[in-house]
Structure 1
């Protein structure tokens, strides 16, 4: 598989805005079936973390006080990713925050997002559910640490992406799994996925 940047944000809410911002980011670069590089940092955007979010993530307001400014972290993360295609689990969430934080820097995303949750729904419909932790336990993938911390979640999503790429190669005879193929696959109606994939291997 070509190089893909797998990302995860922790945030203090659900929709980005002046009072809802990213509090942590992690990026893992995946290439040729391996994790080859990573970036992780807390990020201080001057927002308050509610107690329920602090319990969920373990990220406290005290921790953010000593964290680098969000603008500095996002600039570093954007440079680290460059033009590499992106992937996240439940990408619609992370895409919102990536685009918002980039926008505050006067930058715009140029690459598409693949979504490991949508891909898993199409390739693993038999899974108990398609939450990241559930899928990793169901597939026997490595335990990467505390859920709802950016690096652990990014490692889980990277392991899942690598599994799905291998699944596509082994079960559908695909010689190469590209980011573009993943983006097309996640848009296919679930009932038509097998026929669509079989058509690619002909």
Structure 2
């Protein structure tokens, strides 16, 4: 599997603009291993709602002393470059990635793959497809406190590698990478077995 950047945001809410990012983490996955990491709190100049602090542990005081959102996004954009991107529930992280990049006059060139969509298709026996549930169900490493960006990015990277190994070992696919992930996540769950058989053939 080629080099892939797995990202996770923590934010003040669900919609970019109305909400802002408070933390980002990126782990670089290469040849099945996490080889580099980037993590930072980020100060977007907005207070953290109490329910978000209860969920993430991130407080207004913590982000007040953090680097500016602009500084962090410029740094993380340089760190990621044009490396293909993955996130768990990528629809959420992609919106914030694009919005926060736009504020520093940058734009995304590469597509996102979504480990949530992939898990719904490839791990249909799991009780649900929340990141923590999948981590426990697959006996993957406990990476730390959920709803903190680095712990969640590492969990998503471990999950992606688990699914990549399954595609190779259980389905006989040799060319497992970002393009395949982007293709598989668009296939309806009911048709995934047939699609994997065609790919193997």
Report if TM-score (shorter chain) is over 0.5.
Answer: yes
Q: Residues of 1 paired with 2:64 and 2:99: CA distance? A: 22
TM alignment of 1:6-155, pairs within 5 A: 6-17=6-17, 19-155=18-154
Q: Deviations over 1:76-111 (max 9, x none)?
A: 000000000000000000000000001111111110
Q: Residues of 2 paired with 1:198 and 1:171: CA distance? A: 11
* TM-score normalised according to structure 1 size: 0.98
Q: Residues of 1 paired with 2:131 and 2:60: CA distance? A: 26
* TM-score normalised according to structure 2 size: 0.99
DSSP 3-state at the match of 1:172: coil
Gaps of 5+ in 2: none
Q: Residues of 2 paired with 1:186 and 1:22: CA distance? A: 26
Residues paired across the two proteins, number: 201
DSSP 3-state at the match of 1:24: strand
DSSP 3-state at the match of 2:170: helix
Dislocated runs of 4+, deviation >6 Å: none
Gaps of 5+ in 1: none
Cα RMSD of the aligned pairs, angstroms, is 0.6
Q: Residues of 1 paired with 2:58 and 2:10: CA distance? A: 9
